[in-house]
């Protein structure tokens, strides 16, 4: 093995190196029985992060305009609690938030059904803590989804 090949495998990461050696990881969601593409497939990280930014922006507007009446410091205090309440209400009733809807996403249980209120509450609480959402598995599911048995899919 020459130096460039060794360096390339290090830069590409362990998954790429394992795939070069013949390992087959399959597509995201294959282990969960989800399709590779289209409706019902696992949403990519870009879509999920985009939806989260849209939801955060809308909640910040609500906090700034309605709750704090223009006081930025007070708006910052209310942003996370309002995000929690809005997200729980929308996910428990429709399975999607405004940002998720804009990006064509829905949160469902692993069997495809709507996530229950306790699942949605725990998932949203963990999402607000940020760290569980930043740790992903091979299927790009965050720990907040794994903890409650949900997955974010394309609609």
Query: What string of pLDDT tens digits covers the 155 residues of the chain?
Result: 555 555 555 566 666 666 676 555 667 777 777 788 878 888 888 999 999 999 999 999 988 888 767 677 787 888 999 999 999 999 999 999 999 999 999 999 989 899 999 999 999 999 999 888 888 888 888 889 999 999 999 99
Q: What is the pLDDT of residue 135?
A: 86
Listing DSSP states for 4-49 in one string gives HHHHHHHHH-HHHHHHHTT----STTGGGT--SSSTTSBPPHHHHH
Q: DSSP code of 113?
A: S
Residue 12: CA atoms inside 13 Å, Cβ hemisphere, count?
Answer: 13
CA max distance for the chain: 65
- DSSP character string of 37-93: SSTTSBPPHHHHHHHHHHHHHHHHHHIIIIISTT-HHHHHHHHHHHHHHHHHHHHHH
**Tokens in use for 70?**
């223009």
């Amino acid at each position: 093995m020459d130096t460039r090949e060794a360096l390339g495998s290090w830069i590409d990461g362990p998954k790429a190196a394992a795939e070069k050696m013949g390992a087959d990881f399959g597509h995201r969601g294959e282990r969960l029985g989800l399709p590779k593409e289209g409706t019902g497939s696992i949403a990519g990280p870009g879509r999920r992060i985009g939806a989260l930014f849209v939801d955060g922006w809308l909640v910040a507007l609500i906090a700034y305009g309605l709750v704090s009446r223009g006081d930025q410091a007070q708006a910052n205090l209310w942003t996370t609690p309002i995000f929690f309440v809005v997200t729980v209400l929308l996910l428990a009733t429709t399975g999607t938030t405004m940002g998720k809807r804009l990006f064509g996403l829905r949160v469902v249980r692993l069997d495809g059904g709507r996530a229950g209120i306790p699942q949605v509450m725990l998932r949203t609480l963990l999402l607000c803590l940020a760290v569980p959402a930043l740790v992903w598995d091979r299927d790009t599911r965050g720990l907040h989804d794994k903890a409650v048995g949900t997955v974010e899919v394309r609609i």
